[in-house]
Structure 1
């Protein structure tokens, strides 16, 4: 993912904010409706531009990734940022915001629900480039009482979307995000399943330890 993000001409200072004019669009959808709308948008837009979708195949079978039929209905569209549906009733109780992208969100939601943490919201950034400045600002404004911001990803710190996203979040929104990720690596992941699972569990633990 980080290689494609490095190829974009997105501005770190977001002045002016990214728009459809940037050279590559990159997305990491987590629901079937989001994936559908991305493909549909790619066809119906009057211009042609590369679209990179980095979502893994595992979400095809993930029960949480299934969408309701109304999410495909006329008037619906791709959402660059997905708010946490679990916090819709009272966002004022939220003290910690976890920002993430892709299937990692479902692991975080499972852990949050098992721990019964009612003061934590998990925000999914589905559209990475163009950087969704306005959509992200609109969602974050709901959580006026938030005191901690964490970017959590399953990739190493020097991979994934962290470097790309953290700089833009800080420069354009004035928010510094802590990071929960695997240590920096020269390769994408270990080939040993036991070590991979241990690293994954550590990332989850680190996310909720802040």
Structure 2
């Protein structure tokens, strides 16, 4: 707050450990502008991802941050030419889960370029640091490029959208597990995978454009977190607000649980395969969004 032109980043060793700062997050970061008309642009880097590391090293509790977001889930906003900037100005903080180095670069750069200051919460999976597919060209960071709130599918499914049978919306590193599974099943033409990189403010306009693009496809929200955790409770009403009520949206992810993750590697892999089976099963789903 004292140095608005400085890019200040606070990183937790694991996202789970941010709970020791919960009082500061609740009292100052999420509500500081509403209470005291004081903006701040602090960035919280919270390692998060189901990587088989156990319940104390897997979850940055994104559901808690998303619950404190002040956007209305039941109202489709009025769209305008500067809609994205208006969203950022009206929100109390920004929540993102970037799946590419370029988008991570742009979301940090945007913090300084904005003419105002908002806190930024970034979930940063550790496995993507060494993932061979998590890479970007320098062309994606040159002048004229920008942060992508949503990254559409750019594979064979996008070439013939009318033939796509399923659209999977996701966020974060689960994207790489999904495209690997899609390739192994030979479903590149039948299933599109869309990444929501900025969860709050929610990109209503971009999500609507994707659902309108794939008129004949089933819609699925897929997450690696348990159903009572992660992004599910946040995205559910916003997806329903964006999409026609006659078009169902299905859930593919882990079942509800008290702990953020299992501590057994074998159980972790079984849970992952189960949610991937649900995401690519064109016949049925265990639950409805």
**Equivalent residues of 2:211, 2:243 under 8 A apart:** no
**Equivalent residues of 2:158, 2:192 under 8 A apart:** no
TM-fit CA distance, 1:15: 3.9
TM-fit CA distance, 1:88: 3.1
Q: 1:194 aligns with which of 266, 269, 277?
A: 266
Q: 2:184 aligns with which of 114, 121, 136?
A: 114
Farther off after superposition, 22-31 or 166-175: 166-175
* Greater than 6 Å deviation, 4+ residue runs: none
Q: Residues 176, 166 of structure 1: CA spacing in aligned structure 2 closer, same or farther, 3 A cutoff?
A: farther
Q: Which residue of 1 aligns with 2:210?
A: 139
1:59 partner SS: helix
Q: Which has the higher contact order (CA 8 A, sep 6+)?
A: 1
**Equivalent residues of 2:208, 2:242 under 8 A apart:** no
**Equivalent residues of 1:152, 1:181 under 8 A apart:** yes
**Equivalent residues of 1:169, 1:176 under 8 A apart:** no
Farther off after superposition, 13-22 or 93-102: 13-22
Q: CA RMSD in A?
A: 1.4
What are the superposed Cα offsets for residues 53-83 of structure 1, whole Å, 9 maximum, x if unpaired? 0121211211211011111111111111111
**Equivalent residues of 1:28, 1:53 under 8 A apart:** yes
Q: Which residue of 2 aligns with 1:176?
A: 248
Return the TM-score normalized by structure 2.
0.70
User: Aligned pair 1:44/2:105, yes or no?
Assistant: no
Tell me, in whole angstroms, the C-alpha distance in 2 between the residues paired with 1:158 and 1:123. Answer: 22
1:47 partner SS: coil
TM-fit CA distance, 1:89: 2.0
1:180 partner SS: strand
TM-fit CA distance, 1:138: 1.8
Highest CA radius of gyration, 1 or 2? Answer: 2
TM-fit CA distance, 1:142: 1.9
**Equivalent residues of 1:9, 1:23 under 8 A apart:** yes
Tell me, in whole angstroms, the C-alpha distance in 2 between the residues paired with 1:22 and 1:8. Answer: 7
Unaligned runs of 5+ in 2: 1-61, 79-85, 285-289
Unaligned runs of 5+ in 1: none
